[in-house]
Structure 1
Amino acid sequence: MNKPNSQSITAIIGGVIAALLLIIGFNSYTVINPGEAGVLSILGKAQEGALLEGIHFKPPIISKVDVYDVTVQKYEVPAQSATKDLQDLNASFAINFRLDPVQVVDIRRKQGTLSNVVAKVISPQTQESFKVAAARKTAEEAITRRDELKQDFDIALNNRLEKYGIIVLDTSVVDLNFTKAFAQAVEDKQIAEQSAQRAVYIAREAEQKAQADINRAKGRAEAQRLLADTLRAQGGSLVLQKEAIEAWRQGGSQMPNVLVMGGENESSVPFLFNLGDLADVDGDRPSPQDASPLDEPSPFESEQQENEDSSSSLNLPPGYGGLN
């Protein structure tokens, strides 16, 4: 009776020992995956040296490994500040960062978990960095020189987070807003500037048009002067004759078949008449409408003397002659 009982107790004790050994065996090592870093704590005290990816031995039962994600993290932080000209500026930044694997032990000792890092370090330092960057720019410069504002913010944030073992990879300005009063003032200013530019454009256009009219007037005056000089050099009477012919053409009439002008007084205005009127005086000669230019010679070649007689019959001054 006692022998079977002792064997059972021995088997139970052996099973317990085996289980303990198995548990101890599983707790004697830890595996750190890629993108992670571990901090070994023995009896609550963090040990020096971060545990990087791979398998690592640790004392069983009395040790603990805290694992941190050291891949890229994204956190959106709102921020508020005043610009150089004391305008309120609200912004929102998207920050991409990661923890330095080598410094996770210090992060574990000083900050604790990743959520504490975000709440206690990244968020307040983002606020301070934005205030530093915004204070260097006026409200208008914050809009027109937004890239410089972001550059100043990145430099300030990197300098502040680097000492905490936080590596900033990139930042993005998600939103940038001013007060409604300032936004309306900016809009009014832009409208006023556009109106002023349009007024300047209209004034320049009118000035150019006036200058073009002046140039055209000068050109016409110069052309008339040159024409007058030319005609004056050839004889003053030609000026009056040319003006009479131009007046006749502009009146819409047909040019006459015969042009009679003064012979003795060269400055007189030409006298114009039609051969048809001459035919009415001298009934023996057909009018230019009835005469065929193909069948008969031109009356201007054969009857110059008759023209002179007709001029005499019309009581024209002596010295007038017919011209084609």
Structure 2
Amino acid sequence: MDLVSVVRGLSGLLWLGALGVLGLLVVRATRHQPVKSLVRTLLALAAAAILVTTVGAGLVFVPPQERGVVISALSPTGYRSQALTPGLHWIVPYVEYVVYYPISKQTYTMSSTPSEGAVEGDDSIKARTADGQLVYMDASVIFSIDPAKVVEVHIAWQDRYAHELVRPLVRGVIRDAVSQFRIEEVISTKRFELEQMISKTLAQRLEENGLTLEGFVLRNIAFTDEYAQAIEQKQIAEQKALQAKFVVEQKKQEAEQARQVAQGQADAAVIKAKGDAQARVIQAQAEAQALQLIAEVLQNNPDLLTYQYIEKLAPGVQVMLVPNDAPYLLPLPSMTPAPTATPTPTPQEAQP
């Protein structure tokens, strides 16, 4: 409880006491009883009530979140040029009074939802884009009164600044900004740029009228039913196009996979053929080297071939019948027993 409230409360009690004494005085006077003491008490209470009431009328307390504009009958302009700052102040009783203005942040909302905005019902902002499309925008503006310009705001707007200054100013700035963008830019690519443009312009216009822009929020953007249907159809078409593109890419991947498999099989066949050819070459080279070695051995040992031939024949063969015109590769064994050699006597044996 501040001092001003205490003084005004005391003033009220004194006036009630004065009225009580006055009532008692009337009762005693009608009964022809002495009232002299009551008259003195009444006069004292009345004087004290008038004094305390006057002091209470002159004392003014300004809270920290407010500023006070003094309306004065003593000033040529009708008001004091400087607003009262927070704290306890004295004004001239009965010829001056104070109008309080908040300097804390205030929010003004315009929305299509009836219970959200400052105005009941659909209060969204209707604007037309550069390509002629109609959009409905919900917005909130956060602002405050410049403490140094409270007197100017009072003179120009009094307490009507929210509805008669902020509201039309915001709606006009939004319409002007939206008209510079196409519908696609408003809803997607340049929405942030749009908000920045609105905030910059709005801050300048509010400052000219003694207000400070604390923030701007573009809450929602809605379209006409026709454009919403067009967007939906476009999205469906885009989804179909993406699906078709996905199918094409899938087919390409499958074809590429089949090509790679075929290429792998072909490469494997080529590698196998090369391996077989190299194996045959190595085998031929080995055979040639073997034949070369055999030829060299036969050249040095001609009877070896005959020996190998005989080794291949069945054991015990004594007779072979061959055609008369067949070439003889081997010398035929003799059909008669070999002659027995007769030893020649030496001269010593010939002598008796």
TM class by shorter-chain length? 0.5 to 0.7
Q: Is the 8 A contact 1:38 1:52 kept in 2?
A: yes
How far did residue 210 of structure 1 move? 1.2
Write the distance in 1 (CA, Å) between the matches of 2:46 and 2:274. 135
TM-score after normalising by structure 1: 0.65
SS of residue paired to 1:84: coil
Distance 1:23 1:166 in 2: 36
Report the equivalent of 1:90: 136
State whether structure 2 residue 166 is matched by structure 1 residue 100: no
After TM superposition, the structure 1 = structure 2 runs for residues 6-45 of structure 1, keeping only pairs within 5 Å, are 16-43=46-73, 45=78
Work out the CA distance in 2 between the residues paired with 1:184 and 1:76.
Answer: 28
Q: State the 1:95 CA deviation.
A: 2.0
Output the CA distance in 1 between the equivalents of 2:194 and 2:236.
Answer: 25
Question: Which one of the candidate residues 218, 222, 230 is aligned to 2:263?
Answer: 218
Describe how 1:126-205 pairs up with structure 2 within 5 A.
126-145=170-189, 146-205=191-250
1:124 deviates by 0.4
CA distance in 2, matches of 1:128, 1:33: 34
Distance 1:199 1:57, change over 3 A: same
- Counterpart residue identity of residue 173, structure 2: S
Structure 1 residues 208, 6: closer, same or farther in 2, change over 3 A? Answer: closer
Equivalent AA in structure 1 for residue 214 of structure 2: L
Verify the 8 A CA contact 1:79 1:126 in the aligned structure 2. no
SS in 1 for 2:101: strand
SS at match of 1:46: coil
Matched-pair contact (CA < 8 Å) for 1:132–1:156: no
CA deviation after TM superposition for structure 1 residue 37, in Å? 0.5
Gaps of 5+ in 2: 1-33, 111-123, 284-312, 314-352
Per-residue CA distance 1:112-146 (angstroms, 9 max, x = gap): 11xx1011100001111111321232212222143
In 1, Cα distance between equivalents of 2:127 and 2:188: 18
Residue 125 of structure 2 corresponds to: 79
CA shift at 1:83, angstroms? Answer: 1.3
Which runs of structure 2 are paired with 1:238-257 in the superposition (5 Å)? none
SS at match of 1:45: coil
Per-residue CA deviations over 1:22-78 (Å, capped at 9, x if unaligned) read 322221221111211100011281210110110111111111110112222122123
Whether the aligned pair in 2 keeps the contact of 1:79 and 1:127 (CA below 8 Å) is yes
- Contact conserved, 1:100 with 1:166, CA < 8 A, in 2? yes
Mapped partners of 1:226, 1:101: distance in 2: 90
Equivalent-residue separation in structure 2 for 1:229 and 1:176 (angstroms): 71
User: Which one has a larger percent strand, Structure 1 or Structure 2?
Assistant: 1
Larger C-alpha radius of gyration, 1 or 2?
A: 2
Which residue identity does 1:24 align to in structure 2? T
Q: Distance in 2 between matches of 1:7 and 1:207?
A: 117
Q: What SS does the corresponding residue of 1:20 show, helix, strand or coil?
A: helix
| Residues 229-308 of structure 1 aligned to structure 2 (within 5 Å) | 229-235=274-280
- Relative to 1, partners in 2 of residues 1:229 and 1:8: Cα closer, same or farther, differing over 3 Å? closer
Tell me how far 1:103 sits from its aligned partner: 0.9
Shift of the 11–212 alpha-carbon distance from structure 1 to 2, 3 Å rule, reads closer
Give the C-alpha shift of residue 227 in structure 1.
2.3
Q: Distance in 2 between matches of 1:60 and 1:6?
A: 33
Match of 1:118 in 2: 162
Letter matched to residue 35 of structure 1: Q
SS at match of 2:158: coil
Is this contact kept in 2: 1:46–1:109, CA < 8 A? no
Residue in 1 that maps onto 2:97: 64
* C-alpha separation in 2, matches of 1:52 and 1:151: 34
Cα drift, residue 10 of structure 1: 7.7
Contact 1:80 1:130 in 2 (8 A): no
CA positional deviation for 1:155: 1.5
Alignment coverage as a number of residue pairs: 235
1:79 CA displacement: 1.6
Q: Deviations over 1:230-289 (max 9, x none)?
A: 3345459x9xxxxxxxxxxxxxxxxxxxxxxxxxxxxxxxxxxxxxxxxxxxxxxxxxxx
Deviates more, 1:223-232 or 1:10-19: 10-19
Distance in 2 (alpha carbons) for counterparts of 1:214 and 1:38: 86
How much identity, in percent, do the aligned residues show?
A: 26
In 1: Cα distance, 2:57 partner to 2:148 partner: 24
Q: 1:30 to 1:224 in 2, by over 3 A?
A: same
Show the 5 A alignment for 1:313-324. Answer: none
Instruction: Supply the distance in 1 between the matched residues of 2:108 and 2:279 (Cα, whole angstroms).
Output: 96
